[in-house]
Amino acid sequence: MADPAPAIPEIFDSGRRAQRRARAERIGGGFLARLLADELSERIADIDRPLSRALVMGGAAPQLRPALETRFTEVVQGDDASPNEFAKDALPFDIVLWAGGLESTSDVPGVLARCRKALRPDGVIVGAFYGGGSLATLRSVMRAADGDAPRQRLHPQVEVRSMGDLLQRAGFAMPVVDADGFTLRYQRLLAIASDLRTAALTNVLSGSVAPLGKAEFARALATFDALRGADGRVDERFTLIHFTGWAPDPCQPRPAARGSGTVSLADALQSPRARTWTKG
């Protein structure tokens, strides 16, 4: 008898994440969730084939649903924390939309594989999440705050190059991954925390969450103040990673031979837009 597959470590607390998302939905989703949903809506609009049955999941799903209901005849709400539930659906989906949340999923390959199985042949998954390169300023501020007793306060990040490998491992054909970076300029450190909270992007790692004490918070504020530019604001960078993959089907074109491309991966991954917003 074969040994059972090793259990996937529960890096993230699904109950805590559900609470964070419920709170964000009650207060309207916030700027970061709305931006992700708007960007994902544009990607969906570019798909020019008929699609009728959609599965939507993720932290920004509530902001995305109004746009979906005008495009698809049936929209099913899924839970990326419980992928076995939507994998049991009797009818296949034409499209799976993952609107944020991949960055706080313990078993990304497993959930992606279940998404592929939930799709009809030549169905498509389209998603976006905040990934590698995001929140560099906040990370440095938190490291300074904790000093000689560092704590895991922010999530590990999925890099754009890793995402293509994850899609291929899950069995998707023709994976496409790209990154779109932008900058938010903040007057206050707590305004960054507020934007993360309203988008359900705060800490949902398993285990206890250590609060900042007075000394740690003072060091955080001092570090943030030291980063202010001439206008008194601090830049924070975000990277929105987009991904697309197709459920295999014989009608799909074959990939080009290795080495036949004319555009480098480094060039393809560079963001075509440099956007900046001023925040509170």
What CATH homologous superfamily does 14-250+265-278 map to?
Vaccinia Virus protein VP39 (3.40.50.150)
pLDDT of 140 over the 80 cut: yes
Average pLDDT score over residue span 244-253:
88
Can you read off the two tokens belonging to residue 123? 């169905």
pLDDT, mean of residues 269-274: 50
Share of the chain above pLDDT 90, in %: 69
Q: What DSSP letter does each residue of the chain carry, written as one string?
A: -PPPPPPPP--B-HHHHHHHHHHHHHTT-HHHHHHHHHHHHHHHHT--S---EEEEESTTHHHHHHHHHTT-SEEEE--TT-HHHHHT-SS-EEEEEEES-GGG-TTHHHHHHHHHHHEEEEEEEEEEEE-TTTTHHHHHHHHHHHTTS----S-----HHHHHHHHHHTT-EEEEEEEEEEEEEES-HHHHHHHHHHTT-S--BSS--PPP-HHHHHHHHHHHHHT--TTS-EEEEEEEEEEEEE---TTSPPPPPTT--SS-HHHHTS-S--EEEE--
pLDDT confidence tier of residue 54, bands split at 50, 70 and 90: very high
- Average pLDDT of span 132-161: 93
pLDDT digits (tens, 9 = 90+) for 102-129: 999 989 999 999 999 999 999 999 999 9
| Per-residue pLDDT reduced to its tens digit, 2-41 | 545 556 778 899 999 999 999 999 988 899 999 999 999 9
- Cα angle for residues 140, 146, 148 (degrees, 5° grid): 110
pLDDT, tens only, 58-108: 999 999 988 898 889 999 988 877 766 666 667 899 999 999 999 999 899
User: Average pLDDT in the 266-275 region?
Assistant: 52
Q: Which residues of 248-273 are buried (b: 16+ CB within 10 A; e: fewer)?
A: eeeeeeeeeeeeeeeeeeeeeeeeee
Residue 265 near residue 176 (C-beta atoms within 8 A): no
Identify the pLDDT of residue 262.
Answer: 40
> Where do the structural domains in the chain lie, given as residue ranges?
14-250+265-278
Mean pLDDT of 151-170: 93
- Predicted pLDDT at 272: 45
Q: Between 250 and 54, where is the model more confident?
A: 54
pLDDT tops 70 at residue 264: no
- Output the pLDDT for position 280: 66
187, 194 in Cβ contact below 8 A? no
